[in-house]
Amino acid sequence: MNTLERIKQLLYERRWSVYKLSKLSGVSQSTLSNMFNRNNDPSISTLEDICGAFGITLSQFFADEGELVALNKEQVEMLEKWSTLSSEQKSALLKLLK
């Protein structure tokens, strides 16, 4: 299942509209609509916002149904620190990593 199919699946499971996802995620409705209509995968930052609205992590988003993802101590620490960063800090860090 690709990224857009997974988002659609989560929308269906929750009986959410794209409008509701937009409001809960902070991602504009036009961005979400363009993403679906043009079959464009979201950026990591956008996907993070979407996952936040769904109440799941990126790891859970990409895990197969029922699959648990084990993280090592270092990964857990990184995710905890990541969650405390502002949007600007996250963008700067992503640019640095690229």
Domain boundaries, the chain: 1-67, 69-98
Mean pLDDT to the nearest integer, 65-90? 80
Least confident of 60-64, 67-71, 74-78: 67-71
Answer yes or no: are the C-beta atoms of 57 and 51 closer than 8 Å.
Answer: yes
Tell if the pTM clears 0.85, that is, is over it: no
Three-state SS at 16: coil
What is the C-alpha to C-alpha distance for residues 46 and 27, in angstroms, rounded to an integer? 7
Per-residue model confidence as pLDDT tens digits over 17-42: 999 999 999 999 999 999 999 999 99
Pure H helices in 15-84:
18-25, 29-37, 44-54, 58-62, 73-84
CATH for the stretch 1-67: 1.10.260.40
Residue 66 has pLDDT above 90, yes or no: no
CB atoms within 10 A of CB 55: 10
Which pLDDT score is estimated for 63? Answer: 82
